[in-house]
A and B are shown apart, each in its own frame.
Chain A
């Protein structure tokens, strides 16, 4: 099973002819992902990383049966690329690109919601279901198949925790990063709901950070509807208010978005919180 992506997922890479697009397409294929086509306007008919390149998403979908997309298109053109993927009902649409204007993100996410498809990101590392499919830029060697579902906002912190899980013999059903921007598509709550329903996922790891209220919303949902064990970690406890900690979304404004408020909300929902990310595996093992 796993969530969002599996062995049946057929991936189109938008912006495949760029340096990052081509490099990560090769890594995705090595992971076992079925990358069926690429797309770069004006480069239709070429091949990149061994897959055929099309000028438009609709041609790529018609000729290769793509079901999902990975967007490596530069920020200034990313909204157009995402809307094109939405128009062809690709799902999920994983947006790796960072520095997309927030008004563009609002428009993309609204279009995806209206079309009933899911955007993952922007400014995220993507999603991986070990042994089946990876869309994005997460390093391949970290993963092992198993029963832990992991959802995070960030990239390297996800790698850190996935590596720790694998080392401890705890494989993953699916691991995904939601993206570090203020406005992103898929939310913590939606990801947790998918994990809760996935028969293969036995436990959930939620890695949040300061800013916004997505962790608190997930906490309310967990309390009401999740019976699987959940382990949580929140990054940014020591961040001062009003300062942007790298991620555009990681900024505490007023009383909203503090690490303390998130930790309290998750603890009240029965989530086992850890103080340091390296402690996730031992706490998780105690719950399984």
Chain B
């Protein structure tokens, strides 16, 4: 789960990382009476990246300008996300910009600390163009990350004196944020020199969804679309896509390969929906009602390989409420014969070969266009 900048900054501050908390507003009028000196910065609070380039961060020198710009940003849409809140902070005179983060290195199967003296811009571009400007430290899980590790990283960035000590305190604080908050990513970009001291200008924190139970009082941010949220509330994994063939399958890998098969034959999937292992008749009925709710769906493709999931349970849901759009069912595995019989009784013929089923689903969608 991604946190908003203002939420992440509150947490960072608890760990001694220097931030300017600022004030969160939802209407331009709320700027009146704020005790923040001008010039100030208005920052859109959205979970998607790239808000700066999209015009979601603006500087204002006077109260009139601030109100005008706040009105512009509030309500704008950035990559599909509507801006509902602004973080208002005192503008900072920024000197050198650094990058600092802790994240999971999947290949190393460890946490990794990443720092760079070339902060402020897309760190992936820096890593690609000038990898020598990136300092990395893989954290041995049995040893942990200590202040001396942080100082070594600071030295590698060329820091000395009080700036080195400031950097080490910030890096060690960020390590504690990452491990104590179960973060997948804890990032400061830029970590900037302001009035001779290091200050976290931005804050990014992504908490592992599987670990939120360990952290009371976390906000509940939702990046999901309405349909995706509905699916999640029923323990179904759904991702909306922009095509017209609705997809239901069991198991993430199988569903991904089903999307690929639809695309391979020239079709466009409308969604990814995994009913999961051991799906019941009720789960399947819910899955159908969710994917068919999406506008523009012209065909439904159900691809089930029964393992723990039983084909007869799936068939019962389909037979009870056949969809209004054309449908192809591919059914094989556990209790296949029973499932097939239930569907035949409802006038539905199930296929066994996944390729010909995908081809037929694409043709049905094209025919319905």
- Interface: B98 (CB within 8 A): no
A276 and B253 in contact, given A99-B210, A101-B211, A183-B104 (Cβ under 8 angstroms)? no
| Contact A163 B307, beta carbon cutoff 8 Å | no
Per-position 1/0 for A114-132, Cβ under 8 A of B: 1000000000000000000
Q: Does A210 contact B (CB under 8 A)?
A: yes
The reply to whether A139 and B256 form a contact with Cβ atoms under 8 Å apart is no
Is B269 a contact of A156 with CB atoms below 8 Å? no
Q: Are the C-beta atoms of B182 and A101 separated by less than 8 Å?
A: yes
Note all chain B residues with C-beta closer than 8 A to A214. Answer: 106-107
Q: Please, how many angstroms separate the alpha-carbon atoms of A247 and B254 in the complex?
A: 11
Segment touching B, from A6-14, A44-52, A230-238: A230-238
B141 contacts A110, CB within 8 Å? Answer: yes
A31-39, A59-67, A147-155, A192-200: which lies at the interface: A147-155
B358, closest chain A residue (CB): A276
A212 and B259 CA atoms in complex are apart in Å by 20
Known contacts A238-B259, A278-B355; is-contact A180 B179 (Cβ 8 Å): no
Contact of A243 with B107 at beta-carbon distance under 8 Å, contacts A160-B254, A236-B256, A278-B354 already known: no
Which residues of chain B are near A213, meaning CB under 8 Å? 106-107
**Shortest distance between the CB of A179 and any CB in chain B (Å):** 11
Binds B, one of A168-176, A221-229, A248-256: A248-256
Identify which of B16-24, B25-33, B260-268 touches chain A: B260-268
B256 contacts across to A, CB distance below 8 A: 157, 209-210, 235-236, 239, 245-246, 250
Q: Are B333 and A139 in contact (CB under 8 A)?
A: yes
Cross-chain contact A240 with B241 (CB below 8 angstroms): yes
Of A100, A159, A209, A255, the contact of B333 (CB 8 Å cutoff): A159
Quick one: CB contact mask for B332-349 with A, threshold 8 Å, 1 for yes? 111000000000000000
Count of chain B residues near A, Cβ 8 A:
52
Q: How many A-B residue contacts, CB cutoff 8 Å?
A: 159
Cβ proximity bits B209-244 to A, threshold 8 Å, 1 near / 0 not: 111011000000000000000000000010101000
Tell me whether A106 and B141 are in contact (CB under 8 A).
yes
Inter-chain contacts of A155 with B (CB < 8 A): 251, 253, 277, 307
The answer to whether the Cβ of B274 comes within 8 Å of any Cβ in the partner chain is yes
- Tell me which residues across on chain B come within 8 A of A75, comparing CB atoms: 210
Q: A244: which of B142, B239, B260, B332 is its contact (CB, 8 Å)? A: B239
Contact indicator B251/A154 (Cβ below 8 Å): yes
- Residues on the B chain within 8 Å of A275, using CB: 260, 264
CA distance A195 to B53 in the complex (A): 49
Chain A residues near B333: list those with CB within 8 A.
139, 159, 163
13 contacts between A and B (CB under 8 A): A102-B210, A109-B109, A139-B307, A152-B253, A153-B253, A156-B250, A156-B305, A163-B333, A183-B109, A238-B260, A240-B241, A247-B253, A248-B209
Q: Which residues of chain B have a CB within 8 Å of any CB of chain A?
A: 104, 106-107, 109-111, 124, 128, 140-142, 179, 182, 184, 208-211, 213-214, 237, 239, 241, 249-257, 259-264, 269, 272, 274, 277, 305-308, 332-334, 353-355
